[in-house]
Amino acid sequence: GTVSSAGDVAGEDELVKIASVVASNTPSSRAIREAFIPYIEEQLPGEYNIQIYDSGVLGSESASYAYTKTGIVELSLLGSSMWSETPVMASTDFPFMFRDVEHARRAYQGELGDFIAEELNAAQPVTLLSWLPNGSRAFSSNQSLETIDDFQGQRMRMPNNPIHVRLAEALGANVVIMDLGEVFTALEQGVADGQDNPIATLRNEGWYEIQDYIYNTNHMVASLHLFASDYFLAELPEDHRQVFEEAALLASDYAWDLYIEQLDEDIAFVEEQGVTVTELTPEDRERFIEMLQPVYDYLDSQYDWAEDIREMVDNIE
Amino acid sequence: MTLVVFLVSLIIAVMIGMPIAFSLLFSGVAIMIYLNGFNSMILSMNLFAGADSFALMAIPFFILAGEFMNRGGITQRIVNFANALVGHIKGGLAYVSILAILLFAAMIGSAVASAAALGGILIPMMVRANYKRDKVTGLIAAGNILSPIMPPSVPLIIFGVQAGVSITSLFIAGIVPAIYLTVILCATWFIVSRKDNLQTNERQSVTQVLKALLDGLWAILLPVFILLGLRSGMFTPTEAGVIAAVYALVVGVVVYRELKIRDLLDCLVTAAKASSVIMFLAAAATVSSWLLTVGNVPQIMTSVLEPFIDQPVILMLIIAVLVVLIGMALDVTPIIMILTPVLLPVVTAAGIDPIYFGVTFVLMCMIGLLTPPVGNVLNVTSKAGNISMERMVKAVWPFLLAEIILIVLIILFPALIEVPLRLLVGN
Amino acid sequence: MQKTLDRLFSLIDILTGILTGLMVAFVFYNVVLRVAFNSGLTWSEELARYLFVFVTYIGAISAMRSNAHIGIDTLLARVNDKAKLSLYIITQLSIAGLMFLLIHGSIGMISANAAQTTAALAIPFPVLYSVGVLTGISITLLALGNIVHAVKNKENIGQIVKISSEEDDLVEEAEASAKEHLEELVKEDRA
Ligand code: NA
Ligand code: NA
């Protein structure tokens, strides 16, 4: 195994803790380490001792969010676990909301991101500083999976989440629900033919060895959010606060660049391993959206703003 | 350095007589000040989060189940059941005792509770049959650490929560070392008692045996049912605890009719008191363990132990020595709470299976219950056996040695746990 | 005064016992619903969890009163009475200081979450977090009371600093049950 070098945390400067729920080698955690922290240290030398804690070691997503709200961690990099308190956050999990990863990036860094941040900042003692990438989902299978018709009758492993399950059902697949940890065995033993996850997961978990097809649907492009506690921000001098905000935007760009670069690398890697990767055509995307009408009906019944938000994102260039 | 600040402040606080729970809060504050990040909410928030856990709720439930069993007459029937099975073998009462402890262990989760409940029954039984008092007291003391290895287990619950590992898997894995422990205790007893002239129980009549078996059946069904339920994923460990408590209550009141309704509140209060002491300690340990993480101690520990990452056996032996040394002075709960997040990254990096690590680590912690100066099981058993602490320490050593050898074997050959476990779990 | 306090604390113990009984009831009810009817209640799990927090905190107050928090008195038993008294006062003052931080932190949590409620039952978080304030104040008072008691009863300091652990109860239990069983067996022998 590899070990990251680690030193003593203590120092003269004020300790600023960043709780990250993703691993240290992900583009977003790397962006904090390689762009966010260096920028602040360069602009405000000797003021802050910024430490990032990866992989959720300071607490689960919801615990880290609670810690950010009280200010015992100053910043956090989290997924979307705070839905119950801020329902609009659920929109980031709507299927085929984005045309592709670049479109998702523009939406999160633009109008969609601003819209959600505004709701959240008003309701919670936190400030959403910027949006970073988490993972874009693609389907994979050991059966032929090159067009939308191929889903018919395939056994697809889905996470235990109503939107995901309804999505696979609407495509005509038979849904198998199980924990992420069991996926490899299930695919190997044929309990499931396929699954949907970011291609990076497929690569890291070695699933490409037992999967022959990837349909790069990008049907959900999940994000991470860099939050700051309002208690922490309130104590910052105005010019320092500005530096933190600039650093956050810088980290966002850095992470998306890194993510897209890595995505291309991951695709090249699995293709080298003999996996057939099919990109989604605009026509097929239209057909997906038609077939997923039951899912959109379900979302509309759950959230009265669901349709507006889809339209807003669709209008983003 | 954070680790040094933590250890020094903790040791000073404990030595001047501050209860361990408050000492852990104290060392948490020391770390905060050292890291230049003082915030009173770090203390209050982590203390609350440490207690706010559905998984840890299994602790009061299993303690309560144990209370109901003791007062409901289940304990004595387990002894009778074991007696009916193996009482006729030469030196059989000792095997009866080991079997009874194992069966009891399958129902309760704490070694100290087991020592208190069984020591008072088993030791007099053997002393009266002219077994050597010191030998049997040593055997019973060492035997009681079966309790937290055989599921259910309070230490395994605490480890599971701290490590983020399935408690159900840990419970199922615990069965394997529990069986080894039973075997080596029997073997050790066979060796130490081979020159003693021990009387053999007269064989009971078939009807007597059947009656004892039938009578004990209600008690034996509980662990079987719980293990099957956990294994099939029908319920979580916390739910298993609640089922055990309700079952023990019903059997005690309706079947054995020894548990009176007015005992109910007594049992509840005892369980609430015992669990809140453990839980407050665990919650206080959450505060300092969180701050050790903030101070990067797990990563620093990982880099210190990095030379051994390619030699998991040596790494485990180092951890064993460390845990046994700390276990001489510190209680099991804080050891698990503090060391789990500190050790887990390096253990994972070394490719050691966390389930295997969990049961082996808890086994190491159990040794501390049998070593002076702070050895709670020794303390309780010496009183039940009516011998001094000095004699107790001498009496336990052959059995303690056997248990340490078992731990070393499990470390040298992880397959000892992993192979049978694969058979139990099925893949 | 002492008697009133004794009675108060035995009521507190009964309260924690009843709360534990409610935890059992809620979780058991949920298991039955799930296993038998394949439906669960999120509120019963949530309620049981917060009862558990309350039992832990309130039980900690009661344990402070009966000096039942686990500790080590090996060193304390070996120093002279004067040192015992000073160390005891230092310990109790430190506990009071730590509890002041608990109170301060809990008030901070209450104001940071003033408008927040729990997911299932919509219990306001300030209600839950106030248990920290309650526990902090109670243990602080007990610690200060301990100091007054120790200063007034200097001659008994050896007894006062002794930690009465849960093990002591269990030790007594074990001893008593051993005696009882031996007597029974002796009776059987005579018969
Ligand atoms: Na057990
Ligand atoms: Na010990």
3-class DSSP state for residue A177?
A: strand
Q: Which amino acid type is present at position A29?
A: S
- Structure confidence at residue A83 (pLDDT): 63
C-alpha B137 to ligand 1 mean position (Å): 20
B49 CB neighbours in chain A (<8 A) are 59, 63, 66
Mutate to test the interface with C, among A69, A81, A86 (most CBs of C within 10 A): A69
Output the pLDDT for position A57: 87
Q: What is the mean pLDDT of residues B64-92?
A: 85
Residues in contact with B422: Cβ distance below 8 Å, sequence separation at least 6, in sequence order: none
C138-162 per-position pLDDT tens digit: 999 999 999 999 999 988 888 888 7
Is the minimum CB–CB distance between C81 and chain B shorter than 8 Å? Answer: no
Range of the domain at B146: 2-425
Please judge whether C13 and B269 are an interchain contact, meaning their C-beta atoms are less than 8 angstroms apart: yes
Q: Which ligand is nearest to the CA of B375?
A: 2
Q: Which residue of C has its CA nearest to B24?
A: C98
Check if the beta carbon of residue A255 is closer than 8 Å to that of residue A31.
yes
Q: Containing H/E element for A70?
A: helix A61-70
Cα–Cα distance measured from residue A74 to residue A260, given in angstroms and rounded to the nearest whole number = 28
Going from the Cα of B156 to the center of ligand 1, the distance in angstroms, rounded, reads: 9
Query: In degrees, to the nearest 5, what angle opens at C-alpha B205 toward C-alphas B202 and B210?
Result: 125
Output the six-digit token pair for B263. Answer: 């005992």
Q: Please, are residues B252 and B33 in contact by the beta-carbon 8 Å criterion?
A: no
Helix (H, G, I), strand (E, B), or coil: what is residue A214?
strand
Asked if C72 and B64 come within 8 Å (Cβ–Cβ), the reply is: no
Gap between the Cα atoms of C66 and C5, Å rounded: 12
Judge whether A85 is closer than 8 Å to chain C, CB to CB: yes
Residue B12 C-alpha, separation from nearest chain C C-alpha, in angstroms? 11
Chain B touched by A9 (CB under 8 Å): yes
Indicate the length of chain A as a whole number. 317
> Does C171 reach chain B within 8 Å, measured CB to CB?
yes
Pairwise CB contact (< 8 Å): C112 & A70: yes
Cα of A184 vs centre of ligand 1, distance in Å, is 33
Q: Does A219 touch chain C (CB under 8 A)?
A: no
Task: Give the pLDDT score at A1.
Answer: 27
The dihedral over CA atoms of B261, B262, B265, B267, expressed in degrees to the nearest 10, equals: -80
* Cβ within 8 Å of C, B 365-424: 373-374, 376, 379-381, 383-386
Bridge partners of A51, per DSSP, are A17
- Contact call for A231 and C109, based on CB within 8 A: no
CA of A58 vs chain B CAs: smallest distance (Å) = 7
Cα(C92)–Cα(A45) distance, integer angstroms = 43
pLDDT for res C161? 80
Residue C164 has pLDDT above 80, yes or no: no
Of all residues in chain B, the percent with pLDDT exceeding 70 is 98
CA distances from residue B137 to A103, B103, B183, B364, B391 in whole angstroms, order as listed: 74, 19, 18, 21, 10
The mean-pLDDT minimum among B24-33, B200-209, B354-363, C163-172 falls in C163-172
Cβ contact (<8 Å) for A71 and B296? Answer: no
Model-wide pTM > 0.90: no
CA distance C114 to A288: 44
C178: CA distance to ligand 1 center in Å? 22
Does C26 contact B at CB distance below 8 Å?
Answer: no
Count of A-B CB contacts under 8 Å? 75
Distance CA A145, CA A277 (A): 9
Q: Using CB atoms, which chains have 3+ pairs under 8 A with A?
A: B, C
C123-to-A50, B110, B373, C4, C32 alpha-carbon distances in Å: 35, 34, 46, 33, 25
Q: Which ligand is nearest to the CA of B106?
A: 1
* Count of structural domains, chain B: 1
Cα–chain center distance at B22: 23
The reply to whether B269 touches chain C by the CB within 8 Å rule is yes
Which pLDDT band, with edges at 50, 70 and 90, does B253 fall under? very high
Mean pLDDT of B399-426: 92
Measured in angstroms, the CA of A69 and the nearest CA of chain C are apart by 7
Question: At CA A77, angle to CA B159 and CA B342, rounded to 5?
Answer: 25
Tell me which residue has tokens 């209680």.
Answer: B331
C129 close to C52: Cβ distance less than 8 angstroms:
no
- For residue C162, the chain B residue with the least C-alpha distance is B17
Q: Considering every ligand atom, which ligand is closest to the CA of B328? A: 2
Among the listed residues B167, C50, B277, the one whose alpha carbon sits nearest the alpha carbon of residue B285: B277
C116 touches chain A (CB under 8 A): yes
Q: Please check the confidence at residue B207 and state whether its pLDDT lies above 90.
A: no
Reported as a single tens digit per residue, the pLDDT across A176-185 is 887 777 788 8
List Cα–Cα distances, B238 to B154, B181, B270, in angstroms. Answer: 11, 26, 19
User: B332-349 and B261-294 are packed helices; what angle lies between their axes, rounded to 10 degrees?
Assistant: 50
A69 touching C, CB under 8 A?
yes
pLDDT tens track of chain A, all 317 residues?
Answer: 233 445 677 777 889 999 998 888 899 999 999 999 999 999 999 999 999 999 888 988 888 998 999 999 999 999 876 666 677 888 888 899 999 999 999 999 999 999 999 988 888 889 999 999 999 999 999 999 999 999 999 999 998 778 888 999 999 999 988 777 778 888 888 889 999 999 988 998 889 999 999 999 999 998 999 999 999 999 999 999 999 999 999 999 999 999 999 999 999 999 999 999 999 999 999 999 999 999 999 999 988 888 899 999 999 98
Dihedral sign computed on CA atoms, order B367, B373, B375, B378: positive
Task: Please calculate the CA angle B359-B364-B369 and round it to the nearest 5 degrees.
Answer: 120
Q: How far is the CA of B374 from the centre of ligand 2 (A)?
A: 4
Q: What is the ipTM of this complex?
A: 0.86
C108–A125 C-beta distance less than 8 A: no
Give B260 or C34, the one with higher predicted confidence. Answer: B260
Nearest chain C alpha carbon to B280:
C56
Closest-approaching ligand to the CA atom of B378 = 2
**CB-based contacts of A261, cutoff 8 Å, min separation 6:** none
Return d(Cα C63, Cα C146) in angstroms, integer. Answer: 13
CA distance readout (Å), C32 to A261, B56, B248, B254 = 52, 20, 17, 20
CB-CB contact of B54 with B288 (8 Å): no
The rounded distance, in Å, linking the Cα atoms of A276 and C68 is 66
Selected residues 32-91 of chain A with any CB under 8 Å from a CB in chain B: 49, 51, 53, 57-59, 63, 66-67, 70-72
Distance, in Å, from the CA atom of B18 to the CA atom of C88, rounded to the nearest integer, reads: 8
